[in-house]
Structure 1
Amino acid sequence: MADIAEYIEALKNSEQLGGLVVHHEILKGREAETASCRRPWPVSVERLLDFRGITSLYTHQARAMDLLRSGQNVVVSTPTASGKTLIYNLPVIEHVLSDPDAHALYLFPLKALAQDQLRSFQELVAPWGGDNRPEAQIYDGDTTQWFRKKIRENPPHVLMSNPEMLHLSMLPYHERWAAFWAGLTHVVLDEVHTYRGVLGSHMAQVLRRLRRVCARYGSNPTFAFLSATVGNPQELTHQLTGLDVKAVTEAGSPQGQRHFLFVNPAMTMTESPSKTAIMLLKAALARKMRTIVYCQSRRMTELLSMWVSEHAGEYRDRISAYRAGFLPEERREIEARMSSGELLAVVSTSALELGIDIGNLDLCILVGYPGTIMSTLQRGGRVGRAQQESAVVLVAGEDQLDQYFMKHPTDFFTRPAEKAVLDPYNPVILQRHLICAAAELPLRTGEPWLREPAVAEQVKALEFSGQLLESADGRDIYASRKRPHRDVSLRGSSRTFEILTGADSLLKKDAKPHSIGSIDEHRAYTETYPGAVYLHRGKTYLIETLNLEQGFVHARPAKLNYYTRVRSEKSTEILSISGVRAAHGCRVFQGRLRVTQEVKGFEKRRIRGGKLMTVVPLDLPPLTFETDGLWIEFPREIQRRAEDEFLHFMGGIHAIEHAAIGILPLIVMTDRNDLGGISIPFHEQVGAAAVFIYDGIPGGVGLARQAFQHAPELIDSTLSVIEGCDCELGCPSCVHSPKCGSGNRPIDKFAAISLLRAISSAPEPESGALSLSAAQEALGQHHESVHHEQPSQPEEQSMSDASRPARFAVLDLETRRSADEVGGWHRADCMGISCVCVYYSDRDETLSYSQDEVEALVEDLQRSSLIIGFNIKRFDYKVLTGHSAFDFSSLNTLDILEHVHRTLGYRLSLDHLAQATLGAAKSANGLLALKWWKEGRITEIIDYCKQDVAVTRDLYLYGLQHKHLLFTNKAKQAVRLPVNWDKLPG
């Protein structure tokens, strides 16, 4: 038995480390609280519990099981090692007993968790005799194709999988899983607190798609959610599913006494976090203490692992690293060795934060604050699982949050767990899943999902972009593509870029690059620009190519003595305001922003010492996206006073921006990398200086919205962090940011403190200044004034059925020669004209023109406000240029084929559209018209040409009236092609 008290006493008395211990908190143990379920268990289930020596249930287990057994959805949010697995396994097993055709779906965010839970399930049902033993199997990326088919054809009672497999394999091919969906009674989501941010927004839509498919096969499963301690379990799970969920949060499980120690290497210049962690680990190994070390990055994990392999002496074979880059079989071997006690210590990234069973540990060393109280408690909960005395040591880094808690340790232990944030209606993510859902099962216009205003709005947008297609009768909505799922990554919100390597150059014919991973478009601009140094699984790569059009990055392995840091400029436009409130003496706003980021270049800095070597310019197109944000308005009086006192105002608000973003995870469960910021000494729309903080994810995920509710706390915490830092001019612990696009210039710590103190002591804005309607009206007036300052744009002319253009013309022509005869379609100007036919709406008459009458044709066309044709821009006008010097591109033209191609991404023939929309067909074709010309049958050509003009005119008028045309898609379904011809430049 490890002597925790002796270890802690030795640490506090250590000459080298004792002075770094800034706080020691003892969390008292607690006794178990037990209860029985309201309804007795079947005898066979009671026997399973007896076999495992379980004579009673914890109170939270009994409460949650009662809810699940009564068909209610439940979320259990209790500490690590509180017996959550039993909560869903027993009700599922009970249901299988009563219905052998019943199935349950268990979803885990990591493959290793599924393996761990499979072992637990099999151990639980092992005493069961006979053929009716409940069966569980794993269906994930490691499952062979042969076994996948076997599972689909004969699904087990319990299927364990992950979100990606549900999204990519099960929902798109739901027909192959018909028996499974029909019998699905329970859906279990373990570690549900991980489904926040971008992943949470994706999961909210994946689970809605799951419920649609279940309804298709007549099932309505009960949901069970399991979570670490989180501030809003009920709200989180409701956002994920749209369902009512009961929350169980009071744990009845016992816990041994636990010590929490805060160690701050920043108090001395001689110790670093990694060196401190190594000394702590050495002392633990000497005492045979079973230890887990958590690092904030793969790089730190590998540095500590290198020490393990080189300097661990007799313990070398009893320590292992653990990170996501390991092969599945490597990870499972480490888990098994740790669980058995063969390993004394493991050095891990967050990969071992979740509930994988690695046995009873005595000590947890956290190298850097994990970012949230929830994660800290989750990782710390790894120790003392057998109710023995245990310890958690937090070794602080330089980050603002680390140093904040080193100076305010009591705040850590009194502050409630953070709330998990997601936006189930992120427009970027929602659109992608609507397309996936429509590809799985046609959307019905009356179904509940589509009644939600945010969903209906995005459906309309997708219809007009041609990505969703309404059926001819308007009742069903289809996806324009059969399998869109592969283009949707659940871990990102924008387009995904493949990172390729394996060849010196993609231009070589024999190059065979292979993928080493992927990155979303937003991060590609700032992490994989040409010349960037990119780290992947401990290896260094130099980025050679960023192909924005084709969506790939090419990297080559390289040994370099420098790292790179991007330089960029950002601007923001306020699109709408949805909230305004007071925060001491200033106003804070919430709303929708359009952020534009321009990558201007990058710095090369030496690995040793970080010395700037050079700055390399870059010429990349700007990256623009819409997102949610908040902004702090600095009163003009405060700005004027600061400038009168010769403070560096821009340096001050820039420092405030960095410090506020760094401290925001105190309030919102997020990583600072998920946030962006801009500080502007005068923003035209605000009419004053402002600091903007926004969700760094296109569309937004709700981070800024939640932070807005705590604006006064944000300002107080920001001031506390800057004031409490011992540095003189600013450092990473207070106002410097490793992500700053301008290299942390200008930064003025003193000015930041002065500005925040002025805001804190100023009187609160008057109520009139906090009127949301007044703020929205002021923004509208600004937009109007800005619009008038812009160069004049063509007015839009309404062309509804009540007010068409005063004179529109519909044109078609036939040629004398074919493309083959003149050397290709690009020589259309050499094809000659057999006739041109034009319908004029003001005369309700179709006129024909010969090749010699082109100039008269031009004069007539110029009197029309709109020219309509089918492939008119690429063909008809090109033919006409062979007989006139007139610039036909100057005519206001609607090319119906161009509109079709822009919407669908492919072309449809005039005959196809005519038959589907009008029930009419062309009377001939171009080849026949060429034959008639050679035979001198000009009358037949004119009649055929006039008929094409009439079809084109009728298509235009139909689209004008109905806002769509009809066509038959590749699945042989009659669908609508949306058109918006009542608003065209006129």
Structure 2
Amino acid sequence: MSAYATSPKVVTILDDDDDIEDEAFFDIALAKVRELENAREEEVKRKREDNGDCGDLHARRATQTTATTTAMRTTITTVPTPTSKILSSGGSSARGTERSNVQDFIEYLQTRPQCVATTWTQRRGEDCKTPSGFAMDPTLGAVLARCGVTKLYSHQSAAIKAARAGRSVVVSTPTASGKSMCYVIPIFEALMDEKSKQSKALLMFPLKALANDQMKKMRHIVEQAQKLKTEIDEMKISAEHYAGIDVNRLQRLASVKLAVCDGDTDVEVKAEIKKHGTQIILTNPDSLHHAMLPAHRSWGKKFWGCLKYIVLDEAHTHTGVSGSHVANVLRRLLRVCASWNTAVRPEFICTSATISNPVAHVRRLTTRTPVCVDNSGAPSGEKAFLLWQPPKVDAVGGPERRSPYAEAADIVANLVQRNIRCLVFVSSRTSAETLARDAKRVLGKLSGGMGMELAKRVDCYRAGYQQAERRELESRLQRGAINALVCTSALEMGIDVGSLDATVHVGVPETASAMWQQAGRAGRRQGASVAVVIANEKPLDHYYCTRPNELFARQSEEALVDPYNSAILELHLPCAAKEVALDLRGNDAVLFTASQDDSPMRSDGARLSANFKAPLHIAIKRALGTASSTRTCLFNKATKTIECLPTTYPHRSVMLRGVQGGEPWKLIDTAGKLIEEVAGYRAMARLYAGCVFIARRGQFLIHRLEHEKRVAHASSYEKLETTATRERTDVTAMEPDPDQGVPDILKKRVTDVRVCLGDVHVSETVLGFVVNDHRTAKTIREELWRTPVVAAEYRTRAVWFDLPEECVRRVAVESLREATIGVANMCGGLVSSIAMCDSNDVAASTYLPNALSGNASARVFLYDTTPGGIGLAETIFDNIEELWRRALKAIETCQCAQGCPSCIQAGRRGREAGFKKSDAKTVLDGLLGTWLHY
């Protein structure tokens, strides 16, 4: 048996992904694999025992849902059996060796004291069942087979069947489950149909790289159709090989014209795209808003009047303010289509990561109620999730934890040395550049001359790069020239980065959806992979470090979007009127008014007074001009329609990312060479004299600004420093005003505290900046400007509560301000644990009118940073007691003495909380009424 099991034939079978038909032979091979793996385990165990290591990893991981008694180390679930790991790998022996590197890496990390917890997701087999009555088009099937697509998963065939039936569809399945086939096949089938030969399709992706990636794949299908047609015409293949193929349908597929049309597309190329009647256009919402819809007449009826499918890829990314903007762009798109052909009704095919409300989310985005396909039939390998907490180090003032970025740099360097390809997710552009630089520095110190070569295999990918830089990076990724790519959340989407086996997350992803989506970028469908989540010094991260079971058990959250936000409607209605005059007597009023099914929480009739004016009413009134708004539209008495002023071009002032700021700034070096372009709205926070700017080319110090030219001048800077702005935020509760769309304040009593929900006015002012040491995060110096600059003013939704009188009496007057700020920091930092948002979506502020008097009072605001709000304040209002409880528990379990960034010193106002940890706990005790139990 031993000789038979190790024969070349056996090795071939074990490394091949094809089905094994000889069951007896399979049993013999499987028995040998078990024998060899058991021998390997015994050898590993013996070596560890010889070395005095009593922690047998395999024995420890072989028990279901094991938990240790220490607070800092928990193994939550078992590791799958070694046999399943060997049989799940596919491909060459090199791939098998690489997967073994992953196993060794996981075992190495689990021996480290920083490993707080480990959990494994189980391997899932494929499901290729098809729904009743489903059959693949034989012609398209033959072409796809030449592209390597020989079968469809169950979710793909279910989505295709629904799209064929003329229904809108949302496919909400994990990363790498083949969601693109759910729209590629229906689109090509429609274009192959003679009756629909004029059909068009518009595909929208959140990133240009995604559009370019999908363009290559779709073009490859067309090219294979052309080759097959040529082979048939020249009789190079026999009849039985193309039986069932319809040559006419094949010809139409081979003739399909498709193109990317976005901000990187030259004017001449766009003209050619329109001239030749391109049938498939790949773009993004920004280009649709800024270019295609305003110029819809140049595209004409042959495109808009024949649009059959609209694809919205990565629909889950369209949330918050940007999602609310996109929802209005899609409504304008439907209006333009109807203006060219009233009979046209394009349907949507949307793809999404796993969220808890895919149907409601797509309905709010598109106005269509879709068929939901959320049961994936794609196979997946097992994945290890490791929660990693940086160790404590001695520092002035007591022990602190090592920087999570320093930990990440070491882990990334370890992965690169082991030839394990990975993505590294960080929260900001600056962090991405900094971590990539630090990982290169760690690798560069390796001896033997290999360090510098390995350092070249680490790079960074983020917004702000020039087109040539992006294309070069994407090319290096796909050909495997990069082992570790540090990026922001952009790459949690499905850009083809080749085969990956690991992800590293600096900071606990603030939503379960983001965590699973990011981690899903790594792992072959039949192999093992690893995700290392490195805790940051934030309340949310500390909360989960003490409750790892909750982290790994988190369910996907709801995606929140509010298309009927009056502030956003006010921006889009003039754009809509510019494209096609608004007629509120018909469908336009329906498009821009919430229905009962998709009303966001803030428009719930049960929560608003009877005299509250609909957001559409408020937005139209302001567009026509009021004492507090500029007129952008006029009412045409003859046509009874609302038109945009002919001298106004409203599209320019609407940025779909939710921010305004005009033309970008240019950052140039001392030689006058462009370093990077910075979006106008980012300039205040990223470009100022004294700012340390980290770019792909290196680190620069900004010396001066030319405001008229929007140019910043900088020189190379070698010191390991970072800078951040100092800001002040003022929040004021607004009185109800039906004419201005300000609803009544909603109030409730929680324990002995009155909690309010209503509209507030927010004013953000930049006061100056602070310089920090990158290695220690200690403040080096602070510079305050003589004239503070107002960065933003807007109206939004907020929750606020006053501290009970007993709280105020129990806290010393001189400590009340810091204690209140500490509570606000804690609550703001933990909102992500109860709502689908990140830390920038909700902010906290405090109001202490008489902090130094004997009768001090204090108020805490938690407000939605999206102008007008998108429902986050309502979620906080409904869960405020649980938020207080989590904040109290986080303070009680934090091991610091007086306060640290993991508790009261979290966020932008961290240092303002001082060291009043015990007083902040007293306030939270008072909010929850726990004194009653003392």
Do the structures match in fold with TM over 0.5? Answer: yes
Residue in 1 aligned with 2:921?
Answer: 753
Asked if residue 102 in structure 1 is aligned to residue 267 in structure 2, the reply is no
1:51-200 aligned within 5 A: 51-52=146-147, 54-98=149-193, 99-129=196-226, 130=229, 131-133=251-253, 134-178=256-300, 179-200=302-323
Return 702-711 or 146-155, whichever deviates more. 702-711
Alignment partners' CA distance in 2, 1:675 and 1:302: 26
Q: What is the deviation of 1:240?
A: 1.3
1:251 to 358, 376, 392: 376
Bigger fraction of residues in strand? 1
| Residue pair 2:429, 2:488 contacting (<8 A) in 1 also | yes
Alignment partners' CA distance in 2, 1:116 and 1:491: 23
1:448 to 571, 582, 587: 587
Q: Which amino acid aligns with 1:321?
A: C
Residue in 2 aligned with 1:972?
Answer: none
Residue in 1 aligned with 2:758?
Answer: 591
Aligned length: 748
| Residue pair 1:12, 1:18 contacting (<8 A) in 2 also | no
Alignment partners' CA distance in 1, 2:440 and 2:761: 48
Asked if residue 732 in structure 1 is aligned to residue 901 in structure 2, the reply is yes
Q: What is the deviation of 1:388?
A: 0.7
Alignment partners' CA distance in 2, 1:316 and 1:596: 44
| Residue pair 2:99, 2:527 contacting (<8 A) in 1 also | no
1:344-400 per-position Cα deviation (integer Å, ceiling 9, x unaligned): 433333332210112222222223333322222112111113321111111222222
Q: What is the deviation of 1:425?
A: 2.4
1:84-483 aligned within 5 A: 84-98=179-193, 99-129=196-226, 130=229, 131-133=251-253, 134-178=256-300, 179-218=302-341, 219-268=344-393, 271-306=402-437, 307-308=439-440, 310-311=444-445, 312-450=451-589, 452=593, 453-464=614-625, 465-473=630-638, 475-480=640-645, 481-483=647-649
Q: What is the deviation of 1:162?
A: 0.9
1:894-953 per-position Cα deviation (integer Å, ceiling 9, x unaligned): xxxxxxxxxxxxxxxxxxxxxxxxxxxxxxxxxxxxxxxxxxxxxxxxxxxxxxxxxxxx
Alignment partners' CA distance in 2, 1:438 and 1:488: 14
Alignment partners' CA distance in 2, 1:56 and 1:473: 59
Q: What is the deviation of 1:3?
A: 5.9
3-state SS of the aligned residue for 1:365? strand
Where does the alignment leave 5 or more consecutive residues of structure 1 unmatched?
A: 505-510, 765-986
1:536-551 aligned within 5 A: 539-540=699-700, 542=702, 544=704
Instruction: Flag the structure with more relative contact order, 1 or 2, with Cα contacts below 8 A and sequence separation at least 6.
Output: 2
Q: What is the deviation of 1:249?
A: 1.9
| Residue pair 1:542, 1:555 contacting (<8 A) in 2 also | yes
Q: Which amino acid aligns with 1:734?
A: C
- Say if 1:332 and 1:249 are closer, same or farther in 2 by CA, change over 3 A: same
3-state SS of the aligned residue for 2:113? helix
Return 191-200 or 259-268, whichever deviates more. 259-268
Q: What is the deviation of 1:568?
A: 2.2
1:24-68 per-position Cα deviation (integer Å, ceiling 9, x unaligned): 111111112222143433321232344455454322222222221
Q: Which amino acid aligns with 1:107?
A: M
Q: What is the deviation of 1:238?
A: 1.6
1:962-986 per-position Cα deviation (integer Å, ceiling 9, x unaligned): xxxxxxxxxxxxxxxxxxxxxxxxx
Q: Which amino acid aligns with 1:83?
A: G
| Residue pair 1:321, 1:348 contacting (<8 A) in 2 also | yes
Q: What is the deviation of 1:601?
A: 4.7
- Say if 1:632 and 1:564 are closer, same or farther in 2 by CA, change over 3 A: same
- Say if 1:393 and 1:196 are closer, same or farther in 2 by CA, change over 3 A: same
Alignment partners' CA distance in 1, 2:912 and 2:532: 32
Q: What is the deviation of 1:590?
A: 1.3
1:624-677 per-position Cα deviation (integer Å, ceiling 9, x unaligned): 32111111333323433445xx79333222111111111112222323223322
Where does the alignment leave 5 or more consecutive residues of structure 2 unmatched?
A: 1-95, 230-250, 395-400, 446-450, 594-613, 737-743
3-state SS of the aligned residue for 2:656? coil
3-state SS of the aligned residue for 1:739? coil
1:45-98 per-position Cα deviation (integer Å, ceiling 9, x unaligned): 232344455454322222222221111111111110111010011111111112
Residue in 2 aligned with 1:796?
Answer: none
- Say if 1:749 and 1:356 are closer, same or farther in 2 by CA, change over 3 A: same
3-state SS of the aligned residue for 2:521? coil
Residue in 2 aligned with 1:573?
Answer: 733
Q: What is the deviation of 1:709?
A: 2.5
| Residue pair 1:2, 1:288 contacting (<8 A) in 2 also | no
Alignment partners' CA distance in 1, 2:373 and 2:384: 26
Asked if residue 656 in structure 1 is aligned to residue 823 in structure 2, the reply is yes
- Say if 1:536 and 1:578 are closer, same or farther in 2 by CA, change over 3 A: farther
Q: What is the deviation of 1:744?
A: 1.5
Residue in 1 aligned with 2:863?
Answer: 694
Alignment partners' CA distance in 2, 1:296 and 1:361: 21
Alignment partners' CA distance in 1, 2:571 and 2:426: 35
| Residue pair 1:367, 1:395 contacting (<8 A) in 2 also | yes
Residue in 2 aligned with 1:920?
Answer: none
Alignment partners' CA distance in 1, 2:180 and 2:473: 22
- Say if 1:543 and 1:344 are closer, same or farther in 2 by CA, change over 3 A: closer
Residue in 1 aligned with 2:76?
Answer: none
- Say if 1:342 and 1:503 are closer, same or farther in 2 by CA, change over 3 A: closer
Alignment partners' CA distance in 1, 2:105 and 2:142: 48
Q: What is the deviation of 1:318?
A: 4.2
Residue in 1 aligned with 2:116?
Answer: 22
| Residue pair 1:152, 1:177 contacting (<8 A) in 2 also | yes
Q: What is the deviation of 1:526?
A: 5.6
Alignment partners' CA distance in 1, 2:338 and 2:118: 54
1:492 to 640, 646, 658: 658
Q: What is the deviation of 1:111?
A: 0.9
| Residue pair 1:590, 1:630 contacting (<8 A) in 2 also | yes
Q: What is the deviation of 1:138?
A: 0.8
Alignment partners' CA distance in 1, 2:465 and 2:688: 27
- Provide the TM-score with structure 2 as the length reference: 0.74
Alignment partners' CA distance in 2, 1:287 and 1:527: 36
Structure whose alpha-carbon radius of gyration is higher = 1
Q: Which amino acid aligns with 1:291?
A: C
Q: Which amino acid aligns with 2:460?
A: A
Alignment partners' CA distance in 1, 2:639 and 2:699: 54
Return 388-397 or 120-129, whichever deviates more. 120-129
| Residue pair 1:4, 1:391 contacting (<8 A) in 2 also | no
3-state SS of the aligned residue for 2:735? strand
Q: Which amino acid aligns with 2:714?
A: P
3-state SS of the aligned residue for 1:717? helix
Return 745-754 or 19-28, whichever deviates more. 745-754
3-state SS of the aligned residue for 2:657? coil
Q: Which amino acid aligns with 1:469?
A: L
1:586-642 per-position Cα deviation (integer Å, ceiling 9, x unaligned): 332211111234445544556665335344243246553211111133332343344
Alignment partners' CA distance in 2, 1:587 and 1:9: 55
Identity of matched residues, % = 31
Q: What is the deviation of 1:100?
A: 1.4
- Say if 1:3 and 1:413 are closer, same or farther in 2 by CA, change over 3 A: same
Residue in 1 aligned with 2:65?
Answer: none
Q: What is the deviation of 1:728?
A: 1.4
Alignment partners' CA distance in 2, 1:56 and 1:691: 57
Q: What is the deviation of 1:261?
A: 0.9
3-state SS of the aligned residue for 1:393? strand
- Say if 1:544 and 1:327 are closer, same or farther in 2 by CA, change over 3 A: closer
